[in-house]
């Protein structure tokens, strides 16, 4: 089995992935900086199962601190594949703090790539985002679309810059790369600033749910374990292939309108939602819609979790979890 570095391993997707890779027999080296965007106590809780596993090791450092910080944090760990999930996430906050997003997602990624080059680590799974498609009118979104003028938030621009960096290192230094554009991942451990988490909290508190726009915006909601299955398959693909540079969508291939989502969340919680309509937020896109044929062909990726099933799993987890930081 392989030795896999997972950056951002204490986060929502990263902690689920680390558990899956350990279950599959791999050795996992975890890296995280416990960014205080939300309470780091929740990230420490995410890592509880991993920390108890004999094939898991953890290193705390910040990719912004440069190559030397990575050299110091990971002096001798053998690494076969890097899964780069660490990033400053979120469209709306990126509009308020664009410099922080570029520092974390572009400069931090460059430091990681340079460390990989110096260590002769040649395989990278890079977590990108559906945000790079912006308000592209052609749907569903295909990986071969021209994205020259699509990014409408600093977050999206930082993720597309990350993809361009991975191509540069593939071209110059022979790095094998699989870029994966994630589509609105949800489920247990979801960040408290994201919509489903907010909606459940508001319903349980007896408060109305804000609807930005007229409620017709739609997202391709993807359950976290389906995304993690795609990442795991991507790791296997990288281990089995050389000389590759590919970009795939990891979505659910079904946009869900906002009003439909709110109704489904209300059914999962057992409370009828009250709505308050507000203007659209800057940087938000109208629709995300993944064409997942390439991921299916390359990896056998096939999301299986229905929205109702995924929401039930989230609601059960949220009810059993101490109250999160209120963004």
Cα(229)–Cα(296) distance, integer angstroms: 12
How far, rounded to the nearest angstrom, does the alpha carbon of residue 172 sit from its chain's CA centroid? 27
Cα(260)–Cα(103) distance, integer angstroms: 36
Residue tagged 């990989």 (tokens): 116
Catalytic status, residue 155: yes
| Catalytic position from the list 38, 155, 237, 289 | 155
Spatial contact of 105 and 97, defined as CB atoms under 8 Å apart: no
The three-state (H, E, C) secondary structure of the chain, written as one string: CCEEEEECCCCHHHHHHHHHHHHCCCEEEEEECCCCCCCHHHHHHHCHHHHCCCCEEEEECCHHHCHHHHHHHCCCCCCCEEEECCCCCCHHHHHHCHHHHHHHHHHHHHHHHHHHHHHCCCEEEEEEEHHHHCCCCCCCECCCCCCCCCCCCHHHHHHHHHHHHHHHHHHHHCCEEEEEEECCEECCCCCCCCHHHHHHHHHHCCCCEEEECCCCCEECCEEHHHHHHHHHHHHHHHHHCCCCEEEEEECCCCCEEHHHHHHHHHHHHCCCCCEEEECCCCCCCCECCECCHHHHHHHCCCCCCCHHHHHHHHHHHHHCCCCCCCC
Residue tagged 């991921």 (tokens): 295
Spatial contact of 153 and 91, defined as CB atoms under 8 Å apart: yes
Q: Which residues are catalytic?
A: 155
């Amino acid at each position: 089995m392989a030795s896999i570095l997972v950056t951002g391993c204490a986060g929502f997707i990263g902690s689920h992935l680390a558990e899956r890779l350990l279950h599959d027999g791999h050795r996992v080296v975890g890296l995280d900086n416990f960014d205080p965007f939300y309470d780091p106590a929740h990230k420490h809780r995410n890592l509880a199962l991993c920390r108890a596993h004999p094939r898991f090791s953890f290193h705390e450092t910040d990719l912004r601190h440069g190559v030397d910080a990575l050299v110091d944090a990971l002096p001798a760990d053998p690494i076969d594949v890097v899964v780069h999930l660490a990033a400053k996430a979120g469209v709306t906050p990126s509009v308020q703090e664009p410099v922080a997003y570029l520092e974390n997602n572009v400069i931090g990624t460059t430091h990681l790539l340079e460390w990989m080059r110096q260590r002769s680590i040649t395989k990278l799974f890079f977590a990108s985002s559906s945000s790079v498609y912006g308000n592209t009118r052609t749907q569903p979104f295909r990986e071969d679309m021209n994205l020259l003028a699509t990014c409408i938030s600093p977050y999206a621009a930082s993720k597309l810059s990350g993809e361009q960096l991975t191509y540069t290192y593939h071209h110059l230094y022979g790095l094998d790369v699989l870029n994966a554009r994630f589509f609105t991942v949800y489920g247990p451990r979801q960040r408290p600033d994201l919509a489903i988490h907010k909606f459940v909290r508001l319903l349980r508190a007896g408060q109305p749910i804000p609807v930005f726009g007229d409620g017709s915006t739609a997202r391709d909601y993807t359950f976290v374990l389906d995304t993690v299955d795609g990442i795991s398959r991507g790791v296997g693909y990288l281990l089995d292939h050389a000389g590759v540079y590919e970009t795939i969508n990891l979505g659910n291939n079904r946009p869900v309108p906002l009003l439909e989502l709110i109704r489904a969340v209300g059914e999962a919680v057992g409370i009828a939602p009250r709505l308050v309509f507000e203007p659209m937020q800057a940087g938000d896109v109208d629709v995300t819609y993944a064409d997942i044929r390439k991921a299916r062909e390359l990896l056998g990726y096939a999301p299986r979790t229905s929205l109702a099933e995924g929401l039930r799993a989230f609601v059960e987890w949220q009810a059993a979890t101490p109250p999160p930081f209120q963004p």
